[in-house]
Chains A and B, each alone.
Chain A
Amino acid sequence: MKMNVNLLKLSALFLALPLTANATENELVEQGKYLAKLGDCTACHTIDEGQANGGGLPFTTPFGIVYSTNISSDEEFGIGHYSLEDFTDAMRDGIAPKGNLYPAMPYTSYHLLKDHDIEALYRYFMSTKPVKQENRDNDLMFPTNIRMGLKAWNLVNHDSKVFEANADKSEKWNRGSYIVNGLGHCGECHTPRDVMFAMDQSRHFEGELIGGAEASDITPKELNRQGWTKQDLDDVLRKGYSRKGTVFAGMYPVVFHSFSHLTKDDMSAVTSYLLDNDGEVAAKSDTFNGHDKSDPGYDLYKGYCAGCHGINGEGKPNVSPALIANATIDKAIPINTLSVMLNGVEEQRYSHTHGFYAMPSYRDTLNVKQLTELTNYIRKVWTKQPSDLTESQVQEWVDKIEDSIADAAH
């Protein structure tokens, strides 16, 4: 019996041998595959029901429509003809063999990537299934339709520096920063943009309105104030829902395609970086200040919200998230509270057993007075935010939300 086991081991060794010759290449491809998930490349470079990495997804920017390109290994239509140097230039500086890329491609974040990771990504993309799909022409207005202008834009707005660790911080924090700011390219949505449409690094991660909803303020200051623990962030980024609420709008596909695939160590690095804390973070107690039945907002809450979110904001498992402890309603400026009321939320499935049903849009149902009363009421009952928003403030935010739907940018 013993001998048989040894024989088995031996034959396993022989079987393994031919493979090891290729191990570094295969390992690189595997690493690249993981990194491509972190970068969420396929999500932007694939149209619904299209072939993976074939490109063609439209991005509406304030300057017109930009279509993502074919990044499959196809030599004619994709990037199969790229050398590693070409690929590096595209990732770091947005310079493709055929000309400059529009900064909808987040080379403005990817430049942080280390050489080894760029090579792994390159090997991976060269191993993908070639897709015979021609790139679409962009539909941009003058002068942004002239690619030459991008050189000037890059000169002023782009810094192609590779990631440098912050010596004052731990290795874990630095790994988190590398993921979040590099491949994760979180700043592309969460950092406000300046007049040149570049990320305004002086307001790093302070939040930006995109396509009718706000990519929230994810600075450590705000996340800690709202009472996120590491587990909460791990839950929301990996599963899409947490004690602190759920992801919606543009963040839902990011969780689905990208963050849910993070290794345990990488997720722990990300949450340490986001909360700027290597240790555990204790949960704060939930806020429920009780109902004020004389407030006109109470009637609105009962009539429009309580059916799904529960009379005390406790939510319904697999139907709708709780308002208790929900970070979306606990913000100084209630853009996202108003955004979900106006736009509703699409049904979201996170796994076979978990998901939330759609929230209806109240755009044509609630007027500004009602939106104001309801928003103030929700803040009064479930947050420590002041509940004295005026109708004119709310109108202003509503207008901003509606405007941002027209020019949803990456």
Chain B
Amino acid sequence: MSTIALSINNKAIGPIETSDDVMMIEFLHEHLNMTGTKFGCGVGVCHACTVIVDNEDGTSESVRTCINGVSRFNGKKIRTIEGHAKENEFGEIIKLSPVQETFIENFSFQCGWCTSGFVNETTVLVEKLKLMPIRVNEIETVIEKALGDHVCRCTGYVKYYKAVKELILSTEGLTRP
């Protein structure tokens, strides 16, 4: 048995006991009933199951939950797709994050299977660019590097690409001359 305690979307969870071979995605789905994180390939290829881990040094990284056991997340602060939008006191969504908004405006996704991964990865990217702005002519390469591994079966990648590019260009401080 493994015992895990962590913070998810700023809420303390656990300590909870799980068996040793439980992957993080199973923990989210089965133990916490948080099913927003999607399970696709289960072998680390599609990146649909990506969540955000916030490190102590203020940096954040994206981590796939299908191939990482719960113990990797023990004591960590993580963010999942459920944590991006603002909610009111009744738990109703009142405002989407800028990443979510731009994806909706651009009709980037259709079935939503890949969306949790795209939203988390793009959020990490935007946060990185805030610390280290890029030149406008680097946008394409930077997006490709950050999101190139994410698989979408429905709308293709053009709309995701367009949305992320628009967001980077329209958010102050992400690009530099």
Interface residues of A (CB under 8 A from B): 299-300, 302-304, 306-308, 311, 316, 319, 357-358, 360, 364-365
Contacts and interface: CB of A to CB of B under 8 A. Distances in A.
A307 B45 contact: no
Contacts of A304: 68-69, 72
A319 B69 contact: no
Nearest to A318: B43
A307 B67 contact: yes
B7 interface: no
B71 interface: yes
Contacts of B43: 308, 316, 319, 357
Contacts of A316: 43
A311 B20 contact: yes
Interface string B51-66: 0000000000100001
A358 B46 CA distance: 12
Contacts of B67: 307-308
B158 to A, nearest CB: 24
Nearest to A316: B43
Nearest to B67: A307
Chain B contact residues (Cβ within 8 angstroms of A): what range? 10 to 19
A186 to B, nearest CB: 32
A373 to B, nearest CB: 13
A144 B169 CA distance: 48
7 contacts: A299-B71, A303-B71, A303-B72, A304-B69, A307-B44, A308-B44, A319-B43
A148 B70 CA distance: 61
A302 B43 CA distance: 15
A303 B22 CA distance: 9
B44 A357 contact: yes
Nearest to B45: A357
Given A308-B43, A316-B43, A319-B43, A302 B73 contact: no
Nearest to B43: A319
A303 B44 contact: no
B102 interface: no
A308 B44 CA distance: 9
Contacts of A306: 20-21, 69
